[in-house]
């Protein structure tokens, strides 16, 4: 954690003054003195004081190929010079190439609708699902079932699908027709079962909800392969396959939100590949461009897309956004995927996770560590006040650990809502290019 050259004190103070006056920071209490990040290289970012930090969360679970990739910058510059903008009412080369590449990565036949953010991608999924049922003569199928603890975005529909009260309370009512079922949270099983010896009642909960709502009213269910932002909740191995079967039985669509789990984070190209399931709709963002440029996509099965071709003039999807599928972002995504492939970063992700886990194994014995959970290179460490009662660790304990790691040069995250308002799960999702030395640094810092 070597210190780099700091910004001139006066220049920094002037910058902070403008920040205090003009910038509204995301999802954080009013902050007079934020860390001002000025550069990034590999797994590291540097702030205005010259402090270097290992970006243990890849920003917001998104900078999968790491910082400072000049070849991505060059691809963006080249595309800007060639064609900076075109709508997708017509078509353009980077969007065509990217849609084809995503089909290769998805290992299935999908039509790709491009937007700007993960929230957008999910909104598009909801609208397409509703229209799809309309076009099949089943307009009453309009509801969506999601899970408590899930996070699907910040816009009204995506927040409606989200299952974390604290994120929603001041903004309700939200998207109409969203209901929630308990998560597959084995550490605190909502059905009082023991991990490994249950009948996956958490999957059955979806079918129960469909029956209570009435199958003729349910359009789709939405799940992340693993609930990430809600506290790294890893389901039983057969959970997703069971949801697929329930969806097939009740003519309900399966939407898989791969906004975090996609593009190698899970140790496979997409999170659902770990479970051998084919979704009807896959949403993605973040790792699609490693956040070098905003872009998201909603991949819709070819079978579903066919119903948008066959019903005459009225069957097109009446949805457009100005920036979705921007040529520069598509060129960035193509270069990003090229790097993921060339450097084998998907398998590197699985390696990083396993290596980190083996190095921090002894953490499990710590009196305040309830459970360590992992999915590819995404890790959650659930902190408790007491191992027996599982009382979630208090905010001050969590804050002290995060601050301690930061002081030693490691940025980690916190997530949760274990009990509404309790963010007692430490999270890590380092860049997939993280080196062996950096893995050792992360582990040593955590220990």
Q: Which of residues 178-197 bind ligand PLP (CB under 6 A)?
A: none
Q: Which is nearer to ligand PLP, 285 or 425 (CB)?
A: 285
Q: How far is the CB of 294 from ligand PLP (least distance, A)?
A: 8
Least distance to ligand PLP, CB of residue 385, Å: 27
Residue 443, burial from CB neighbour count under 10 angstroms (0-12, 13-18, 19+) = middle
- Here's the x/- map for ligand PLP, 149-168, by CB under 6 A: it reads as --xxxx--------------
Cβ at position 32, least distance to ligand PLP in Å: 25
Least distance (Å) between residue 64 CB and ligand PLP: 14
Give the ranges where 264-394 is alpha helix by DSSP (H).
302-307, 327-342, 345-359
Give the span between the Cα atoms of 164 and 151, in whole angstroms: 7
The reply on whether position 289 binds ligand PLP by CB under 6 A is: no
Report 44-73 residues binding ligand PLP (CB under 6 A).
Answer: 60
User: Smallest distance, Å, CB 265 to ligand PLP?
Assistant: 11
Indicate the residue among 64 and 445 with the shorter CB distance to ligand PLP.
64
* CB-count burial class (<10 Å; 0-12, 13-18, 19+) for 179: middle
Q: Which residue is nearest to ligand PLP (CB)?
A: 118
Q: Which two tokens stand for residue 251?
A: 């003519």
The gap from C-alpha 211 to its chain's centroid, in whole angstroms, comes to 29
Verify binding: residue 229, ligand PLP, rule CB under 6 A.
Answer: yes
| 95, 158, 333, 356 from 124: Cα distances, Å | 17, 10, 20, 36
Question: Contacting ligand PLP (CB under 6 A), which of 259, 282, 330, 345?
Answer: 259
CB distance 279 to 306 below 8 Å:
no
Q: Give DSSP secondary structure letters for 371-399.
A: EEEEETTEEEEEEBS-TTT-PBPPHHHHH
> Of the two residues 40 and 230, which places its CB atom closer to ligand PLP in the complex?
230
Q: According to the binding rule CB under 6 A, does residue 123 interact with ligand PLP?
A: no
Phi, psi (degrees; rounded to nearest 5) at 356:
-60, -45
To the nearest whole angstrom, how small is the minimum distance from the Cβ of residue 287 to ligand PLP? 11
- Give the binding range for ligand PLP (CB under 6 A) out of 32-40, 131-139, 145-153, 263-271: 145-153
Among 257, 371, 382, 417, binds ligand PLP (CB under 6 A): 257
Q: Strands of 11-93 (E only): list them.
A: 37-41, 44-47, 52-55
The only residue of 224, 280, 371, 382 in contact with ligand PLP, by rule CB under 6 A: 224
Contacts 24+ apart (CB under 8 A), 315-320: 315/135, 317/113, 317/127, 317/128, 317/131, 319/113, 319/124, 319/127, 320/87, 320/88, 320/89
Residues numbered 265 to 284 that lie near ligand PLP (CB under 6 A) are none
Does 380 sit near ligand PLP (CB under 6 A)? no
What is the DSSP-derived secondary structure letter of residue 227? Answer: B
Among 285, 333, 374, 405, binds ligand PLP (CB under 6 A): 285
Q: With binding defined as CB under 6 A, does residue 438 bind ligand PLP? A: no
Cα(269)–Cα(106) distance, rounded to whole angstroms? 8
Q: What is the dihedral of CA 157, 271, 333, 339, to 10 degrees?
A: 160
Q: Does 118 bind ligand PLP (CB under 6 A)?
A: yes
Distance CA 270, CA 267 (A): 8
Taken as a whole, the chain contains a residue count of 447
Task: Name the segment binding ligand PLP (CB under 6 A); options: 71-79, 93-101, 221-229, 393-401.
Answer: 221-229
Q: Are 115 and 289 in contact (CB under 8 A)?
A: no
CB 117 within 8 A of CB 153: yes
Does position 117 interact with ligand PLP (CB under 6 A)? The reply is yes
- The least distance separating ligand PLP from the CB of residue 388, rounded to whole angstroms, comes to 32
Count of residues that bind ligand PLP according to CB under 6 A: 16
Smallest distance, ligand PLP to C-beta of residue 260, A:
5
Least Cβ distance, residue 233 to ligand PLP (angstroms): 12
Binding site for ligand PLP (CB under 6 A): 60, 117-119, 122, 151-154, 224, 228-229, 257, 259-260, 285
């Amino acid at each position: 954690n070597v210190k780099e050259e700091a910004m001139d004190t006066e220049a920094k103070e002037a910058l902070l003054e403008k920040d205090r006056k003009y910038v509204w920071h995301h999802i954080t209490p009013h902050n007079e003195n934020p860390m001002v990040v000025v550069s990034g290289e590999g797994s590291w970012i540097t702030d205005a004081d010259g402090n270097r930090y290992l970006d243990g969360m890849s920003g917001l679970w998104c900078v999968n190929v790491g910082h400072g990739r000049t070849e991505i910058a060059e691809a963006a510059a080249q595309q800007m010079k060639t064609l900076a903008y075109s709508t997708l009412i017509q078509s353009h080369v980077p969007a065509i190439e990217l849609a084809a590449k995503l089909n290769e990565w998805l290992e299935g036949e999908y039509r790709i609708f491009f937007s700007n953010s993960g929230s957008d991608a999910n909104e598009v999924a909801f609208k397409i699902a509703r229209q799809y049922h309309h076009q099949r003569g089943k307009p009453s199928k309009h509801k969506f079932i999601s899970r408590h603890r899930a996070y699907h975005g910040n816009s009204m529909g995506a927040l409606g699908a989200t299952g974390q009260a604290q994120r929603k309370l001041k903004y309700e009512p939200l998207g109409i027709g969203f209901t929630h079922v308990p998560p597959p949270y084995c550490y605190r099983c909502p059905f009082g079962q023991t991990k490994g010896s249950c009948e996956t009642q958490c999957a059955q909960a979806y079918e129960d909800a469909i029956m209570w709502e009435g199958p003729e009213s349910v359009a789709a269910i939405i799940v992340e392969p693993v609930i990430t932002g809600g506290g790294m909740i890893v389901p039983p191995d057969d959970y997703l396959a069971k949801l697929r079967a329930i969806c097939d039985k009740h003519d309900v669509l399966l939407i898989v939100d791969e906004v975090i789990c996609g593009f190698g984070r899970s140790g496979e190209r997409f999170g659902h590949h770990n479970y051998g399931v084919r979704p009807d709709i896959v949403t993605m963002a973040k790792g699609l461009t490693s956040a070098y440029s905003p872009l998201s996509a909603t991949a819709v099965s070819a079978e579903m897309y066919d119903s948008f071709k066959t019903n005459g003039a009225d069957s097109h999807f009446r949805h457009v956004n100005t920036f979705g599928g921007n040529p520069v972002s598509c060129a960035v995504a193509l270069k990003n995927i090229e790097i993921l492939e060339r450097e084998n970063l998907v398998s590197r992700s699985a390696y990083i996770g396993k290596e980190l886990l083996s190095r921090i194994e002894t953490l499990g014995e710590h009196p305040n560590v309830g459970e360590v959970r992992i999915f590819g290179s995404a890790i959650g460490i659930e902190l408790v006040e007491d191992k027996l009662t599982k009382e979630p660790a208090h905010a001050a304990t969590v804050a002290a650990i995060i601050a301690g790691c930061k002081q030693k040069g490691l940025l980690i995250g916190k997530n949760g809502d274990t009990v509404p308002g309790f963010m007692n799960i430490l999270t890590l999702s380092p860049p997939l290019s993280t080196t062996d030395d950096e893995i050792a640094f992360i582990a040593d810092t955590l220990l």
